[in-house]
């Protein structure tokens, strides 16, 4: 029955319901996970801004964190990269941190195999010093430089009062 014939017969037309933002988001994440490429992440460096910390603090902090991560990523029709990921890595105090999230990266290709990107990451994280690993949400900016399937990526964690003010670097290896 067409919409016009339904109205002519006195039946109330049933409009196709638009999916909610939650449904659209879930579908996007599911699509990335099911059809995207695998990514492996390796933390490289946690740089504490020298202007925000004393020399004694910096000497005690972990700046070469151990860790590993896995994710799935997919280029959208605009050539931008979207991904879902999980990573575990050492924090500044050598304790494990766990994070899962979604990232969007706007890409620019200055040369055939090179890509520069910038975007944001929305995530859920746990830390031992915040509610003894109680999960909390976060959103941070990040940038990347990529050659073929290898990327160096970084985010800035703002802070005050002896916390944050950190630039975190990691490598991402994309498998096609």
Domains and CATH numbers, the chain: 37-175 (2.40.160.20)
- Average pLDDT for 76-105: 94
pLDDT above 90: percentage of residues in the chain: 61
C-beta atoms surrounding 173 within 10 Å: 12
- Average pLDDT for 93-110: 95
Catalytic residue, candidates 39, 48, 121, 144: 48
Strands 150-157 and 166-175: antiparallel
pTM: 0.83
Catalytic residue, candidates 5, 31, 73, 92: 92
Q: Is 92 a catalytic residue?
A: yes
Report pLDDT for 1. Answer: 46
Catalytic residue, candidates 39, 73, 91, 146: 91
| Closest C-alpha to 155, from 84, 81, 105, 82 | 105
Report pLDDT for 161. Answer: 67
Report pLDDT for 176. Answer: 78
Token readout for 21 is 């933002």
């Amino acid at each position: 029955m067409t919409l016009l014939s339904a109205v002519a017969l006195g039946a109330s037309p049933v409009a196709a319901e638009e999916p909610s933002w939650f449904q659209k988001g879930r579908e996007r994440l599911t699509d990335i996970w099911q059809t995207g490429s695998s990514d492996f992440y390796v933390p490289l460096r946690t740089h504490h801004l020298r202007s925000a910390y004393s020399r004694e603090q910096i000497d005690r902090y972990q700046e070469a964190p151990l860790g590993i991560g896995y994710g799935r990523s997919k280029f959208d029709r605009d050539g931008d990269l979207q991904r879902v990921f999980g990573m575990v890595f050492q924090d500044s105090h050598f304790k494990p941190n766990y994070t899962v999230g979604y990232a969007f990266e706007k890409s620019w290709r200055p040369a055939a195999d090179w890509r520069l990107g910038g975007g944001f990451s929305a995530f859920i994280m746990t830390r031992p010093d915040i509610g003894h690993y109680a999960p909390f949400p976060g959103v941070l900016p990040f940038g990347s430089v990529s050659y073929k399937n290898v990327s160096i990526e970084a985010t800035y964690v703002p802070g005050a009062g002896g916390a944050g003010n950190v630039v975190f670097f990691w490598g991402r290896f994309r498998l096609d």
